């Protein structure tokens, strides 16, 4: 077996070369995880969770909650919460102190790629409520960024930026939210924020993603399989799944811990699902993430 974590183009090239000798491949090719936030959700809690789930490892995480879809009635309020939380992140060289939370991007090439996404978003009239630029000086640092007013189908909301960037879009109703969330070629992970028990169980079943959390994000269980959905993730992360039909995967549905007065409790359900085929540099001092 040959395993690869990388871009879709790298995965295609590897799969092609491996086919010559019929080698099996395990390809982890990225994600663009939507976070659907309904009216009535705990907005402060959602913003606090995304401070980690969207920016851990400087956003260089395939399951990062990087694409917020928030109900239009609470979008402004949620964005205020998110900007406040993200604005408190401490940026700097990893050895600068225990309080550093955001480090540099992995390479100059990737740094330029992320900055390119931000430049093109700015040219499209998308506003950075926070960040949106590189930090001057040595090292491949980008300010933790929140992009707002993102239109449906914008490049920054469809393609994996793989950096400290969260986009914020609005939706009108459940049908709109599900359609917008599914309208990307990635199918690795997603999450839903709601206080409504029916939504907490129904919406995840309508999302075409291998792992869906409810009122949580990037909460991982080692005993559960990490799964494929759609073309950007090509195989299960467990190989001993006896009886799995061809092209099938396991969907993990994780719900948050119970708390007083909340209708949704902890549960993990595993179901079979056929995927839809759609097509550093050293930095001596801590950095400020302000514009």
List active site positions: 28, 62
Q: How far is CA 169 from CA 115, 223, 256, 273, in A?
A: 20, 34, 24, 28
Element (H, E) at 189: strand 189-193
CB of 190 closer than 8 Å to CB of 214: no
* Three-state secondary-structure class, residue 6: coil
Task: Using DSSP bridges, classify how beta strands 145-148 and 33-37 pair: parallel, antiparallel or unpaired.
Answer: unpaired
Q: How far is CA 106 from CA 7, 38, 52, 61, 66, in A?
A: 15, 34, 19, 12, 18
Cα gap 30→48, rounded to integer Å: 24
Query: What is the per-residue DSSP string for 16-28?
Result: HHHHTTT--EEEE
Evaluate whether 227 touches 251 at the Cβ level (below 8 Å).
yes
């Amino acid at each position: 077996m040959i395993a690869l974590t990388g871009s879709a183009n790298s995965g295609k090239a590897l799969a092609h070369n491996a086919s010559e000798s019929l080698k099996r491949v395990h390809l982890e090719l990225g994600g663009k995880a939507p976070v659907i936030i309904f009216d009535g959700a705990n907005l402060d809690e959602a913003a606090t969770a995304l401070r980690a789930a969207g920016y851990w490892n400087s956003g260089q995480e395939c399951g990062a909650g990087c694409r917020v879809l928030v109900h239009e009635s609470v979008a402004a309020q949620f964005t205020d919460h998110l900007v406040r939380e993200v604005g408190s992140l401490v940026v700097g060289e990893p050895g600068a102190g225990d309080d550093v939370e955001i480090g540099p991007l992995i390479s100059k090439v990737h740094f330029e790629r992320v900055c390119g996404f931000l430049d093109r978003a700015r040219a499209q009239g998308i506003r950075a409520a926070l960040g949106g630029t590189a930090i001057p000086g040595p090292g491949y640092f980008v300010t933790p960024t929140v992009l707002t007013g993102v239109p449906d189908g914008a490049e920054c909301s469809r393609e994996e930026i793989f950096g400290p960037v969260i986009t914020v879009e609005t939706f009108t109703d459940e049908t709109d939210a599900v359609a917008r969330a599914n309208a990307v070629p990635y199918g690795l992970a997603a999450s839903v924020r709601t206080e409504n028990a029916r939504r907490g169980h129904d919406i995840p079943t309508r999302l075409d993603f291998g792992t869906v959390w409810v009122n949580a994000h990037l909460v991982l269980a080692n005993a559960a399989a990490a799964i494929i959905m759609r073309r950007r993730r090509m195989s299960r992360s467990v190989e001993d799944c006896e009886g799995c039909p061809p092209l099938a995967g396991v969907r993990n549905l994780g719900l948050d811990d119970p708390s007083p007065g909340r209708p949704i409790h902890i549960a993990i359900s595993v179901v079979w699902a056929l995927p839809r085929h759609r097509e550093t540099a050293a930095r001596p001092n801590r950095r400020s993430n302000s514009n």
